[in-house]
Structure 1
């Protein structure tokens, strides 16, 4: 392990000949699934509707009991553990966040720690830490109710609640399926940022192969009955589909899908003038103009981007104002180049602001840099005869 990587806090999951049969059904919903999910990785379950991916996921935390077979988390058989002990090890995040509408954000997040008997001070600190981790200001959001949040904000709270008891394993069932494409991309980026810091074991069900390619360290492609068609890295699934079923499922244009593997972090970011909220506007404008730029990236006191105003918009203020960060479409450094292009389409700057851990500002990625990189990928693919 490299020294700059955080320690793995996840646990290995092993499924051995796991089967689920429902009364009155001839075929098993899941038939003899054997699989090892390494600690600290994101594994994406994909496959056609009805293939058993959600059933397989839910058997890991015993929301559905297996008919036979063994599931171990960190070497321990889940059926030999009490429910409280298992819930302490497994967080669960579903579409829409599934928040309790009569509870505040803080109480929703605190639910599992409270059930586990944590003291009030520890719970309070955990709520604050998690809201900060998922990019929501604790002072602003902890007292709100779900109805006062956007869909994306609700989903962030759902992720925070899944992490509340600091479990080694997080299960996610179509977590980003009910939001618009821009919010979906931002939530995916947030998950990558969180995982870079925490290194949990995350198992996620999705119907979207592009989402699986973007998020997964490994992808599990299932046929009917949860039969494993291929279990491999996104690179290998795209470059060498196991058979025609996988090839058809991944879809045509797999060379183009390779662009989904190229990350913003692979491109050198450009510097842009920055300003802090409350700075003298005159000084900021003079500094930006001296550098030959007509806009500045406004940062908060923790170095997180809030806005990207043009200088003409700043000149009416004595001091740099604050901005609503929710309205600035940023990219995590692990976002794909496809995401970068999509974000740029909504930007008047022809570029996008890039963030790292805890949403801290890293720089700007330009349209030209992305297209140059794409042309290089195409040249390399052509040279290899793809």
Structure 2
């Protein structure tokens, strides 16, 4: 397995930098309680995957998560990360090598963004230049300009920005494992979608092992390589890939938890990356306005995608809005979607756009193209026809 010194090199190369987690007969029995909160939980979480823990309130999903980094001590059983028993090192030492992200980011209000992110690297003895470089790299990774945000305080950030900083702090020491407890539960739906997309983009690049607790089955379907559905006492109702859980629920509990609309939910498994994107006219900030308008009109476009110097989309103005001699960065924020976003997310974004489409981005928010209603409906129709053919074949 990958050793700690090799993890950074592996992640930079796009390989798996996460570590396997194995839980064997894990029990948590609280004093005075007749029934264990977690009872004989056994589970293997593959390296480099996102595994979502879902289930009703009180089922033990958060307790199970916290036992991995010993925020809660197991009563019995064994938990191993990369083959090593978590009890073979002190809780403090363990937690310095396991990232932890909770709802709202949980930032220290008296510390700047940089100071919040730098906590664990400094505890590990990194020098000042290493820490500063790491903070800049991580802010860029989570979509925050290091120049603008490293010196700000949490009170100066929106809820979504605070959560981004929380994710950056969880990644600060390049840990193989990231634990996330309802990380996006305290933000509005649009911000929640964007944070989910950013997590998928980050994971595509870093390939950590991420264990995430959520109460939202739709979020679990979107983010999870695998989903663990728990019943009371952290009893495993089903542990499988999203497609299998939607197609063949293991029992009535799973079927009820997933909901009657599981056939519709299966549409959320379809990703933007599966749909052919449009390539409308683009322009770089600083380009000649007259030349951009000429190119757009020749292409039959009434608007252009404006990109910054790093090929990130920053605006989608109509031609009539382009003024002056050169293209400037628009002042209004552009809502993008990641290529791993679901088609449901794409439709939601398109409905709020005056262009009847959505701008699609990849790693580090790099521009990929535009998705429109025609492409989505065509893909959904093809999925339905394929499903009907498969049913007829059976």
Q: TM (normalized to structure 2)?
A: 0.95
Shift in CA distance, 324/23, structure 1 to aligned 2, threshold 3 Å: farther
1:355 equivalenced with 2:361 (yes/no): yes
- Corresponding residue for 1:85? 93
- Corresponding residue for 1:17? 25
- Pairing of 1:181-260 with structure 2 (within 5 A): 181-260=189-268
CA distance in 2, matches of 1:44, 1:129: 27
Deviations 1:32-73 (A, max 9, x none): 100000000000000001000000000000000001111000
Alignment counterpart, residue 344 of structure 2, candidates 318, 338, 348: 338
Question: How far 1:380 sits from its partner (Å)?
Answer: 2.2
Deviations 1:160-202 (A, max 9, x none): 0000010000000000011111110100000000000000000
- Corresponding residue for 1:381? 387
SS at match of 1:192: helix
Alignment counterpart, residue 143 of structure 1, candidates 151, 167, 175: 151
- 4+ long deviations beyond 6 Å: none
CA distance in 2, matches of 1:382, 1:95: 41
Contact 1:84–1:116 at 8 Å: present in 2 too? no
1:101 equivalenced with 2:109 (yes/no): yes
CA distance in 2, matches of 1:111, 1:65: 24
SS at match of 1:69: strand
Structure 1: where are the runs of 5+ without partners?
A: none
Question: How far 1:134 sits from its partner (Å)?
Answer: 0.5
Alignment counterpart, residue 319 of structure 1, candidates 313, 322, 326: 326
Question: How far 1:5 sits from its partner (Å)?
Answer: 7.9
1:30 equivalenced with 2:38 (yes/no): yes
Structure 2: where are the runs of 5+ without partners?
A: 1-11
CA distance in 2, matches of 1:79, 1:177: 31
Deviations 1:230-289 (A, max 9, x none): 000000000110011000000012111111100000001110111111111111111111
SS at match of 2:118: helix
1:367 equivalenced with 2:373 (yes/no): yes
- Pairing of 1:98-177 with structure 2 (within 5 A): 98-177=106-185
Contact 1:70–1:77 at 8 Å: present in 2 too? yes
CA distance in 2, matches of 1:66, 1:27: 15
CA distance in 2, matches of 1:279, 1:127: 32
Shift in CA distance, 363/45, structure 1 to aligned 2, threshold 3 Å: same
- Pairing of 1:55-94 with structure 2 (within 5 A): 55-94=63-102
Question: How far 1:324 sits from its partner (Å)?
Answer: 4.9
Question: How far 1:322 sits from its partner (Å)?
Answer: 1.1
Question: How far 1:375 sits from its partner (Å)?
Answer: 1.4
CA distance in 2, matches of 1:197, 1:385: 37
Question: How far 1:351 sits from its partner (Å)?
Answer: 0.3
CA distance in 1, matches of 2:93, 2:208: 17
| Aligned Cα root-mean-square deviation (Å) | 1.3
Question: How far 1:385 sits from its partner (Å)?
Answer: 3.6
SS at match of 2:233: helix
- Corresponding residue for 2:5? none
SS at match of 2:100: strand
